[in-house]
Amino acid sequence: MPWQTQDFAAASGPTPQRESPLALSVRNILRKPSSRVALFVLGVIVLVGLLAPLIAPYNPAAQPDIVGLKDLPPSLAHPFGTDPYSRDVLSRVIYGARLSLMIGILATIVSLTLGVAYGAIAGYAGGILDAVMMRVLDAFLSIPRLLLLIGVLVAWPKLSIGALVVFLGLTGWFGLSRIVRGQVLALKHAEFVTAAQALGASRRRILWRHLLPNIVSPIVVAATLGVAHVIVLEAGLSYLGIGVPKPLASWGNIIQDGSDQFPTMWWMSLFPGLFMVLTVMTLNILAESLSDAYERRR
Amino acid sequence: MNGTEPLVSVRNLKKEFPIRKGILSRQVGAVKAVNDVSFDVARGETLGVVGESGCGKTTTGRSILRLIEPTSGEIRFEGRDVRAMGTSELRALRREMQIIFQDPVSSLNPRMAVGAIIREGLTIHKLAEGAAADARVRQLLQEVGLRPEYSNRYPHEFSGGQRQRIGIARALSVEPKFIVCDEPVSALDVSVQAQVINLLEDLQRDHDLTYMFIAHDLSVVEHIADRVAVMYLGKIVELATVEDLYSTPLMPYTQALLSAVPVADPHARKERIILQGDVPSPANPPSGCVFHPRCHHPAKDAACAAIVPPLEEKTPGHFAACIKQPPTTVSWEQQKEAGGVHPPERYLPLAAVHA
Amino acid sequence: MTAPLLSIRNLRTWFYTEAGVARAVDGVSFDIGAGETLGLVGESGSGKSVTALSILRLIQPPGRIESGSVIEFEGKDIVTLGDDEIRDIRGNRISMIFQEPMSALNPVFTVGDQVAEVARVHGGMSRRDAWDRAVEMLALTGIPDADSRAKQYPHQLSGGMRQRVLIAMALMMKPALVIADEPTTALDVTIQAQILDLLVDLQKKIGTSILMITHDLGVIAETASRVIVMYAGEVVEQAEVDELFAKPQHPYTEGLMHSMPHIGHDQERLNVIPGTVPAPTEWPAGCRFRDRCPYSWDRCASEHPPLYQIGTGHVSRCHLAVEPERRNHPHPPVVVEAGVAAA
């Protein structure tokens, strides 16, 4: 009988690739040319925002000659023209990138924290607590976000940027918590969770080590879309004059500054608008390929 | 401690899953997944549990570990009442009882490296940390036949058989006394299945493990188990040593189950008992003997539909739940009263085949 | 011998993946005669299911049937047929029974509708006639009370019942060939016995050929008349069923038979085939089984074995056929760890 009962080398098999799930997703995302371009463009915009003080040719708030230098169309000295206060629009757009992105990211961090916590608790607890929490969420979701924000901001004019970020964040987690709850609900009966339970893992450990790491992908997708959404919201609110307090430069503020003479002073809306559209588009493209990569892995 | 005391002892275990309907989630019924099951597992033995999907074998296994909370009944581990344990006692107990799962894909956290998966139990129970934990992980990997260098790889990099080995290493990490093996080889290819079964047997010998081996494959159970419990619709219908069960199955269901296994020998085409119809719903099990609607015992009659057959000892150590296989404590008078017309008679349609 | 019903020559179905070209089916040839049941055994990764899908040309990109492959069926080459022509064959002349009966049925239509649909598409029958025929077929597959069962949806039926519905669908047009891909793997053993019985019975009634694909040698022994064993994308052995079980020639077939626990034959330890199937992107040169084989010698590394003729209708892809004395000198298998194979 040549057949062995020993399998001393059972460990052999197809060459395992040394790659963590994270590295795999990143590679999946970068495979598409569109997402490579998007990542590059977004990288440039972020860099521009980060390095604003070094790049901007002028002080964004400086009003060098409110009569002689106002309302200038694009020229070599002012590639994006100047605004009614003689400020350099290019410099303001550059600083606007900084502010708009920062608001987008910070507000999203706020909603991410709330949404993940709320959703994870509801999903993991289940039962009556889950039911109650979800009905509360339904109530929140039934009020349009923009309306809620306008109401708050009109009632409290002159809010600081910090407060604006908090409000944007406070109104942005409802959808996300839904997603998180659904994912936690779907995963909490997975066998690896049961295995952790059988090992004696605490609820907190199961949540942090087993559930959340496995729902990072949909959360990141939602967060990416969330940043884009906040940027648009902020611009809209600023355009209505209840967003970022002037004279700070955000993309919405710049457009607002030129809105009185929109057809003639086209540069005032074109350039900040272009940046905003680019940012939102690239974020959306990235979110899409993230979610593709996620689907593929499943 | 008394040497003859069973390691695990289960009495009258019941688990019902409520069926809820409507917006108020009113309970309209219950699936009786496990319906009054009692058995012991002796130290060092392997108790096989076989049955078809929905028979309650997995629920029984998980109830012992309290991964599922039983509805009623008693579970004792080394004499301690498992159902009465609080959170911290239960956590300590989890060091002594472990589980190995069927699905090599979903039973490993895809976001954790293999080393971290195996290490988790060490961390939770503070068994080792730092370099000592690393060494222990490497030792465990080696013990289940994997290379220690694999510890920083992720589950998706391994084949099904290798993943199953990782799951086994995780269970072993806390040095348990008792392991519930929940269909550990069902998802594997035949040649890999043999590797894993041999591994489980080696580990049992080296670590004095006690197994509850749940499976639907009767040939695997015959190979690995010492005693076998056959489950049908939430009940144990037969319980015997491997030799007795496979040579003289007394319960008509076991007979049908055994005869249904395809034999890898074209000359041995055997008489086959083909059961009619499907397994009834556990939400609405038949009255009396749960198997009676599909039963082929020639003495089957109205008494079978009326009397719940006790799991009784037919020959020493061989238990079956059938009032038509003598001897039975349900007397012929009682059976007649319940509408019985055929007195009990020994029926062994498979005896000839296995003689 | 009359012309076979289906004749496959040098079938190669390759998948162009990121990790490289996966040669899932790599030069497979065999025939199926009219009315015969051919068993196709292999473990996961052997290429048995891809072979089945290739016969119906159901291979999706990145997979492709390579040119030079021939699948001749009723005088036509399936590989080069137009899309309309192949659709006319699927479900009509060749039909398929899948492993997972739930996912193969559409949850939003009644089972009767789904069975009747086949006759409407291929037979051009009226709605009424097709329905009557569907009920007839369902009754034939042993579904009790077929009249009312036909009006139910898939989720209202048990696994065994659903598999009967799939069989009814597959046999609706009295096809020349039914491909059954692990038809009972998802079923419980008592239900499996019912379904296998039914298949054998219906085959006798309708006279169709069956290609029975499975990993279970028991299922093969009980249904097939001839068996093909696949390993690593190739046919490694082919024989009449009695011959194969009595005298397996290829070490893989032998190993497979020895590693199964058998009821009534108690062994202390199970025999194992060490290691695992190599990745389809990197089949080893020479014999693809040699790393796991207890007999392999230098010739197995240098020379890819052809299918040697062993006896009438019995072939084996192993050099032992010409150097049988090597069988007397097994050695521990040379399983080489991944990555250090070259060392």
- Burial string for B126-140 (b: 16+ CB within 10 Å, else e) reads ebbeeeebbebbbeb
pLDDT tens across A200-235, in order?
999 999 999 999 999 988 899 999 999 999 999 998
Instruction: Say which amino acid occupies B137.
Output: V
CA distance A28 to chain C (A): 11
Measured between CB atoms, does A18 come within 8 Å of chain C?
no
pLDDT at C17: 85
Instruction: Say which amino acid occupies C87.
Output: R
pLDDT tens across C10-44, in order?
999 999 988 889 999 999 999 999 999 999 999 88
- Asked if B159 lies within 8 A of A213 by C-beta distance, the reply is no
The model carries a pTM of 0.85
Q: Is C43 in contact with B190 (CB distance < 8 Å)?
A: yes
Integer Cα distance of A122 and A176 in angstroms: 13
> Nearest chain B Cα to C142, which residue?
B277
Terminal C-alpha separation, chain C: 51
| Among C residues 28-87, those touching chain B with beta carbons less than 8 Å apart | 43-44
Integer Cα distance of A76 and C265 in angstroms: 93
User: With contacts defined as CB-CB under 8 Å, which chain B residues touch A13?
Assistant: 158-159, 161-162
Determine, yes or no, domain membership for B164.
Answer: no
Higher pLDDT, A151 or C343: A151
Determine, yes or no, domain membership for B131.
Answer: no
- Asked if A4 lies within 8 A of C274 by C-beta distance, the reply is yes
**Lowest mean per-residue pLDDT among A23-32, B87-96, B140-149, B328-337:** A23-32
Tell me: pLDDT of B274 over 90.
Answer: no
Count CB neighbours of B110 within 10 A: 16
Dihedral sign for Cα C249, C255, C258, C261, please. Answer: negative
pLDDT at B352: 43
Question: For residue A295, what is the DSSP state?
Answer: H
pLDDT at A18: 56
The first and second tokens of residue A285, run together, are 């493209």
Measured between CB atoms, does A205 come within 8 Å of chain B?
yes
Q: CA distances (Å), B24 to each of A136, B20, B21, B27, B31, in order? A: 18, 9, 7, 9, 19
Q: Name the neighbours of B, counting chains with at least 3 Cβ pairs within 8 A.
A: A, C
- Asked if A9 lies within 8 A of C255 by C-beta distance, the reply is no
When pLDDT is cut at 50, 70 and 90, the band that residue A88 belongs to is confident
Tell me: pLDDT of C195 over 80.
Answer: yes
CA distance B300 to chain C (A): 20
Determine, yes or no, domain membership for B101.
Answer: no
The first and second tokens of residue C271, run together, are 């025999």
pLDDT tens across B171-227, in order?
999 999 999 999 999 888 888 888 899 999 999 999 999 999 999 888 899 999 999
When pLDDT is cut at 50, 70 and 90, the band that residue C188 belongs to is confident
Q: Is C328 in contact with C337 (CB distance < 8 Å)?
A: no
- Asked if C274 lies within 8 A of A2 by C-beta distance, the reply is no
Higher pLDDT, C216 or A9: C216
Integer Cα distance of C287 and C318 in angstroms: 8
Determine, yes or no, domain membership for B168.
Answer: no
pLDDT at B104: 86
> Nearest chain C Cα to A13, which residue?
C276
pLDDT at A2: 57
**Lowest mean per-residue pLDDT among A70-74, A213-217, C90-94, C162-166:** A70-74
pLDDT at A1: 46
DSSP strand pairing (C226-231 vs C308-311)? unpaired
Q: What is the mean pLDDT of residues B307-318?
A: 95
Integer Cα distance of C119 and B121 in angstroms: 58
Residue position matching structure tokens 């899953």: B17
Tell me: pLDDT of C343 over 60.
Answer: no
CA distance C129 to chain B (A): 28
CATH of the domain at B325: 3.40.50.300
- Asked if A2 lies within 8 A of C295 by C-beta distance, the reply is yes
Closest residue by Cα to residue C232 from C29, C15, C17, C45 = C45
- Asked if C191 lies within 8 A of B52 by C-beta distance, the reply is yes
- Asked if A195 lies within 8 A of B99 by C-beta distance, the reply is yes
Measured between CB atoms, does A192 come within 8 Å of chain B?
yes
Q: What is the mean pLDDT of residues A282-298?
A: 80
Measured between CB atoms, does C295 come within 8 Å of chain A?
yes
User: With contacts defined as CB-CB under 8 Å, which chain A residues touch B77?
Assistant: none
- Asked if B257 lies within 8 A of C190 by C-beta distance, the reply is yes
CA distance A128 to chain B (A): 11
Measured between CB atoms, does A67 come within 8 Å of chain C?
no
pLDDT tens across A138-151, in order?
998 888 888 888 88
Tell me: pLDDT of C339 over 70.
Answer: no
Which of C161, C197, C263, C269 is the best substitution to test chain B (most B C-beta atoms within 10 A)? Answer: C263
Tell me: pLDDT of B289 over 60.
Answer: yes
Give the DSSP letter string of B215-255. Answer: ES-HHHHHHH-SEEEEEETTEEEEEEEHHHHHHS--SHHHH
pLDDT at A82: 83
**Lowest mean per-residue pLDDT among A95-104, A168-177, A186-195, C185-194:** C185-194
Q: What is the mean pLDDT of residues C322-333?
A: 85
CA distance C23 to chain A (A): 15
- Identify the top-confidence range among A22-31, B164-173, C190-199: B164-173
When pLDDT is cut at 50, 70 and 90, the band that residue C333 belongs to is low
CA distance A99 to chain C (A): 41
Determine, yes or no, domain membership for B133.
Answer: no
Percent of chain B with pLDDT over 70: 96
Within 13 A of C219's CA, how many CA atoms are on the CB side? Answer: 27
- Asked if B110 lies within 8 A of A201 by C-beta distance, the reply is no
Determine, yes or no, domain membership for B48.
Answer: yes
Taking phi over 0 as left and psi of -120 to 50 as alpha, with beta for the rest, B234 belongs to left
Determine, yes or no, domain membership for B129.
Answer: no
- Asked if C272 lies within 8 A of A3 by C-beta distance, the reply is yes
- Which alpha helices (H) appear in chain A, and where do they start and end? 21-30, 33-50, 52-55, 89-125, 127-141, 145-155, 161-170, 174-187, 191-198, 203-205, 216-239, 251-257, 267-297
Integer Cα distance of A211 and A191 in angstroms: 12
pLDDT tens across C116-166, in order?
998 888 888 888 999 999 999 898 888 888 888 899 998 888 888 888 899
- Asked if A197 lies within 8 A of B67 by C-beta distance, the reply is yes
Q: Is B229 in contact with C276 (CB distance < 8 Å)?
A: no
Measured between CB atoms, does A33 come within 8 Å of chain B?
no
The domain of B308 spans 8-96+176-262+271-346
Domain count, chain B: 1
Closest residue by Cα to residue B25 from A127, C101, A141 = A127
- Facing A21 at nearest CB: one of B102, B154, B159: B154
Integer Cα distance of A142 and C43 in angstroms: 54
Integer Cα distance of C330 and A2 in angstroms: 5
> What are φ and ψ of residue A10, in 5° steps?
-65, -15
Which of A6, A19, A20, A191 is the best substitution to test chain B (most B C-beta atoms within 10 A)? Answer: A191
> Nearest chain A Cα to C295, which residue?
A2
pLDDT at A15: 46
pLDDT at C338: 33
Tell me: pLDDT of A34 over 60.
Answer: yes
Measured between CB atoms, does C82 come within 8 Å of chain A?
no
User: With contacts defined as CB-CB under 8 Å, which chain B residues touch C193?
Assistant: 259-260, 262, 272, 274-275
Q: What is the rounded average pLDDT for all residues in chain B?
A: 90
Q: Is B239 in contact with B339 (CB distance < 8 Å)?
A: no
- Asked if A10 lies within 8 A of B161 by C-beta distance, the reply is yes
Q: How much is the ipTM here?
A: 0.84
pLDDT tens across A112-135, in order?
999 999 999 999 988 889 999 999
Determine, yes or no, domain membership for B188.
Answer: yes
- Facing B99 at nearest CB: one of A190, A198, A200: A198
pLDDT at B24: 67
When pLDDT is cut at 50, 70 and 90, the band that residue B52 belongs to is confident
Instruction: Say which amino acid occupies B9.
Output: S
Instruction: Say which amino acid occupies B34.
Output: V
- Asked if B263 lies within 8 A of C263 by C-beta distance, the reply is yes
Give the DSSP letter string of B283-295. Answer: TSPPSSSTTGGG-
Integer Cα distance of C143 and B276 in angstroms: 11
Q: How many angstroms from the chain centroid is the CA of residue C225?
A: 14
CA distance A127 to chain B (A): 11
Q: Name the neighbours of C, counting chains with at least 3 Cβ pairs within 8 A.
A: A, B
- Which alpha helices (H) appear in B96-216, and where do they start and end? 114-124, 130-143, 160-172, 190-207
Q: CA distances (Å), B248 to each of A52, A118, B240, B257, B318, in order? A: 86, 58, 10, 13, 10
Closest residue by Cα to residue B164 from B114, B215, B99, B104 = B104
Tell me: pLDDT of A35 over 90.
Answer: no
Percent of chain A with pLDDT over 90: 35
Integer Cα distance of B193 and B189 in angstroms: 6
Higher pLDDT, A279 or B279: A279
When pLDDT is cut at 50, 70 and 90, the band that residue A33 belongs to is confident
